[in-house]
Amino acid sequence: MRIVIAGVGEVGMYLADMLNRGNHDVVIIDPVKEKLTEIATYYDLMTVQGTATSLVTLQKAEVGDADLFIAVTRTQEANIISSILAKKLGAKKTIARIDNNEYVIEEHRQIITELGIDSLVYPEILASNEIVNIIKHPGILKSIEFAQGRLTLFSLRVKQNTPIANRTLMEIDKQYSDLKARVVAISRGKHTIIPRGGDIIKPGDVIFVVVESEDRDKVRQILNQERIDIKNIMILGGSRIGIKTAQALENDYYVKLFEKDRDKSVMLADILQKTLVIQAEARTADFLIDEGIERVDAFIAVTGNSEINILTSLLAKQLGVKLTIAEVENNDYLQLARKMDIDYLINKKLIAASHIFAHTISASVITVQTFTETQAEVLEFEVPEGAKITRRPLKEIDFPKGAIIGGGERNGESFIAVGDTQIRPGDHVVVFALPDVIEKVAKYFK
């Protein structure tokens, strides 16, 4: 696939990294020469210096031959204009990153399509959706539903006293043979392991489990994961993520939002119907105590400043908050924060990049999801007629070693994948895969 990416920000860099592992012809456009030199040092791709809204620049990048044009520059206007121009020049499909809610309203969808933009990506909405999902499934590092909610993939940290600690997957499967669940990945330090029967689960590991929804609570009990009853939520930061999260939660929870800017606080008070908006920085222990932090069940720090989000989340945890969520956009801090006592980390750029990545997979992929705790991607495929994956039972198929099928859905019924499972046309299948084998995996679903 020939892919042109406009913008070498963190989303563009992450996409370049993901796409470089596959068999893609990638071209990067950016006006800053130093950025292009840096990215060309790490990846085998072509670079074009210039602004993405320039017809001359787009023609140099040969967007007319592009299968996919992705606009992820810093400005929404440049992304929209460059996508329109790229489509007019012949690009088969265009994607633009935006930051304005009115473009994603359903009644405006046809206007956007007629302009030549096939898909819009709003990172703040994607991040807010992830936070809301965390609040609704507390105690789990991350939870994603597939197959219309019949399958759940979630990640959990293994504690020292967890019954499955220091045991092989074969031993665990034997003891809990009636459980409709499968461990599909293990994150240990900086490494992600796609496990086999002989692999051992160790304390401190983050494990990724595919489970039929009816057995989700059983799995949590086995892993000693207590249910957290969330009623009171404190949000630090009136950013776009903060606003959208408050709007999504305020009807079901008691929400208090802190914003340091006075004018913005007044605006937020008008926008949010049931959220209590307070103008304050809320960064000290004394202030949080005065505001009743001891009664808060979930603390969400989304100020747009990674350092503040990390520090206040750690402070909230020390003051007894059961669940903390921090937005961390700085990749260097992200690696550091993973080792800290923060329950959840949100990175809207990585979430957006994974969302965009779904459009680059040359197979019947429905969704692509990412976990900040692992290098792997989670893909949901709809299996077409004649796909290679349908020819024999899974144990007889030479499936890539860096990937594993967790389960799927067939005719409204979910299933957990085992060696004897026969995948059929029309199935929806959930696959956990390391980036360097995703293209190989996709070939099984063509």
Examine the domain organization and report whether 9 and 109 are in the same domain: yes
Examine the domain organization and report whether 128 and 117 are in the same domain: no
Q: Give pLDDT tens digits for 48-98.
A: 999 999 999 999 999 999 999 999 999 999 999 999 999 999 999 999 999
Q: Does residue 329 lie within any of the structural domains?
A: no
pLDDT reading at 197 higher than 70: yes
CA distance 155 to 197: 19
CB count in 10 Å sphere of residue 262: 9
CA distance 366 to 169: 29
Under DSSP, the state recorded for 119 is E
Examine the domain organization and report whether 131 and 209 are in the same domain: yes
**Which of 87, 121, 155 marks a domain boundary?**
121
List Cα–Cα distances, 205 to 49, 221, 222, 393, in angstroms. 43, 17, 15, 30
Q: Give pLDDT tens digits for 141-177.
A: 666 777 777 788 877 778 777 888 899 999 988 888 8
Q: Does residue 337 lie within any of the structural domains?
A: no
Examine the domain organization and report whether 170 and 104 are in the same domain: no
Examine the domain organization and report whether 32 and 117 are in the same domain: yes
User: pTM for this one?
Assistant: 0.79
Residue partners of 416: CB distance under 8 A and separation at least 6: 180, 181, 182, 210, 211, 212, 406, 407
CA distance 234 to 322: 12
Examine the domain organization and report whether 351 and 207 are in the same domain: yes
- What are 144's strand-pairing partners? 153
- Average pLDDT over the chain, rounded to an integer: 88
Rg (CA), the chain: 23
CA distance 291 to 127: 26
Q: Does residue 209 lie within any of the structural domains?
A: yes
Q: Does residue 419 lie within any of the structural domains?
A: yes
Work out the average pLDDT over 419-444: 88
Examine the domain organization and report whether 136 and 203 are in the same domain: yes
% residues pLDDT > 70 (the chain):
95
Q: Give pLDDT tens digits for 281-293.
A: 888 889 899 999 9
pLDDT reading at 267 higher than 70: yes
> What's the pLDDT band for 274 if we cut at 50, 70, 90?
very high
Q: What is the dihedral angle through the alpha carbons of 50, 51, 56, 58, rounded to the nearest 10 degrees?
A: 100
Q: Give pLDDT tens digits for 321-377.
A: 989 999 998 877 877 777 787 888 888 888 888 788 878 776 567 777 766 666 678
Q: Does residue 222 lie within any of the structural domains?
A: no
> Residue 177 sits in a domain of what CATH number?
3.30.70.1450
Residue partners of 70: CB distance under 8 A and separation at least 6: 3, 4, 5, 6, 12, 15, 94, 95, 356, 359
The total number of structural domains in the chain stands at 3
> Residue 300 sits in a domain of what CATH number?
3.40.50.720
Q: Does residue 339 lie within any of the structural domains?
A: no
**Which of 86, 104, 121 marks a domain boundary?**
121
Q: Could you tell me if 204 and 192 are in contact, meaning their C-beta atoms sit under 8 angstroms apart?
A: no
Strands 181-188, 167-168: pairing kind: unpaired
Q: Does residue 275 lie within any of the structural domains?
A: yes
CA distance 400 to 178: 27
% residues pLDDT > 90 (the chain):
48
The candidate with the shortest Cα–Cα distance to 421, out of 403, 442, 441, 407, is 407
Q: Does residue 331 lie within any of the structural domains?
A: no
CA 314 to chain centre: 23
Tokens read off for 325: 């969520």
- What are 117's strand-pairing partners? none
Q: Give pLDDT tens digits for 8-22.
A: 988 888 888 878 777
Could you tell me the residue range of the domain that residue 49 belongs to?
2-121
